[in-house]
Amino acid sequence: MQNNQQKNNKSINDLFELSEKELKRQTEGIELIPSENYVSENVLKALGTVFTNKYSEGYPGKRYYGGQKYTDEVERICIEKAAKLFRCDHANVQPYSGAPANLAVYSAWAKPGDTILSMKLSHGGHLTHGSSLTFSSKIYNFIHYGIKDVETGEIDYDQMRGLALKHKPRIIVAGFSSYPRELDYKKIADIAKEVGALAMADIAHLAGLVAGGVLNNPFDFGFQVCTATTHKTLRGPRGGLILSKGNVLNPLKNVEHTLENIPTLIDRAVFPGLQGGPHMNVILAKAVAFEEASQPEFKDYANQVLVNSKYLAHKLMDKGFKLITNGTDNHLMVIDTISSFNLSGGEVEKIFESIGLNVNKNLIPNDTRTPFDPSGIRLGTPAATTRGMKEKDMDLISDWTLKAIENRNNESYLINLKKEVVEYCKTFPILF
């Protein structure tokens, strides 16, 4: 019996050792994947609370299980903080991630077979915006708009309006995963109003920058719904969020299918429509993150993300990197690595990883290569900025990227370059 217990303890200790190794990896490298970030110690603490033990199907005051005094209080606070932060009428804080958040909005407003208009995947859209690989594409008829001019990144709004007038979509989705420019929310909202569509913005990548006041809030331009993730630029736990304007009614009762009732229709789509009990420890962590995002220092952080991103983009272009749209307006940039160095995105991703710089391979507009070996990479500044890095650090990062590419076949040089990165990272802790 004692031997078995010792074996079990060793097995558990081995698992926790992996966590320590991951902490070391994160600490000794620079995270440049724009969808990743570091949470605060308070967010980490919230994720590890006993709220993870509690099952809470339903909504505050309307649960199917007893013992909900404190879960109800947590979720109410979380909803209030989110709605205040994004200046809207209601927030559903239960979605497990961004993908089910998007699906919840689709199912709340559209019927199977209805048309949804969204950005083309290769031009910067997301899988959940109608990729043929996703389940949602089997339910709804997705059509796509895209970039008019790859050099400037201008969206073809005439094409968007033409498609909307022709196909009469139930929903128009404004949002992206790898588009480095800001969208014209007013034009999109006007097109949606013209054809009677729901105007939905997927701000998963931008939520922290919107909350920080450095990028436009779609609600200010006539949008009814915004979906988001609570990590990325928002620096919260991994999870989803749906924000909306309209009437907030009893989510467990049928309501008329009108735009005014979209908050309640979305609540019903989330539960009981798509998921069961929410993860209450994550909702607590979301509430902590929303409170942190409401502080003045978060605005400083959001601004520095943009400063760093634009500065890094400029430095990379000076070094011969071909950036899609020739720059950025937000936290991310997409690089055409084939045009820059005749290297695929997958090759560059591995080269950078070998010295401790983490990026992700990515499709570029009109890419002729596969998603597993595309023509580009995607990188951004949210995580590096969280660690306290500023313009001078972006200078150094741009230097490292070019040195790594130029010396990619020199193993000893890359080893020494990685040592340089590791040493540099010691002054930038990931817990704050």
Mean pLDDT for all residues in the chain: 95
CATH assignment, 45-293: 3.40.640.10
| 106, 140, 181, 202: the active-site residue | 202
Domain positions in the chain? 45-293, 297-425
Query: Over the stretch 188-236, which tens digit does the pLDDT of each residue have?
Result: 999 999 999 999 999 999 999 999 999 999 999 999 999 999 999 999 9
Average pLDDT of 372-397?
Answer: 97
pLDDT at 3 over 70: no
Cα–Cα distance between 314 and 391 in angstroms, integer?
A: 11
Cα–Cα distance between 166 and 158 in angstroms, integer?
A: 12
Query: Over the stretch 64-94, which tens digit does the pLDDT of each residue have?
Result: 999 999 999 999 999 999 999 999 999 999 9
Q: Which comes out higher in pLDDT, residue 134 or 239?
A: 239
| 81, 170, 232, 286: the active-site residue | 232
Token pair 């019927």 in the structure block, residue? 111
Overall size of the chain counted in residues: 432
Distance of CA 125 to the CA centre of its chain: 12
Quick one: tokens of 292? Answer: 């942190």
| 28, 36, 57, 184: the active-site residue | 57
H, E, C per residue of 273-334 = HHCCCCCHHHHHHHHHHHHHHCCHHHHHHHHHHHHHHHHHHHHHHHCCCEEHHHCCCCCEEE
Query: Over the stretch 12-35, which tens digit does the pLDDT of each residue have?
Result: 999 999 999 999 999 999 999 999
How high is the pLDDT of residue 338? 97
202 is catalytic: yes
Average pLDDT of 45-58?
Answer: 97
| 115, 229, 230, 264: the active-site residue | 229
pLDDT at 432 over 60: no
Residues 6+ apart with CB under 8 A from 354: 404, 414, 418
57 is catalytic: yes
187 is catalytic: no
Query: Over the stretch 283-341, which tens digit does the pLDDT of each residue have?
Result: 999 999 999 999 999 999 999 999 999 999 999 999 999 999 999 999 999 999 999 99
In the chain, what percentage of residues exceed pLDDT 90?
89
Parallel, antiparallel or unpaired: strands 147-149 and 198-202:
unpaired
pTM, full prediction: 0.95
pLDDT classification of 2: cutoffs 50, 70, 90: low
| 28, 55, 64, 72: the active-site residue | 55
Token pair 């900025």 in the structure block, residue? 385
pLDDT classification of 257: cutoffs 50, 70, 90: very high
How high is the pLDDT of residue 7? 64
| 238, 319, 322, 390: the active-site residue | 238
Are the C-beta atoms of residues 22 and 31 closer than 8 Å to each other? no
238 is catalytic: yes
pLDDT at 4 over 80: no
Q: For domain 297-425, is the CATH number 3.90.1150.10?
A: yes
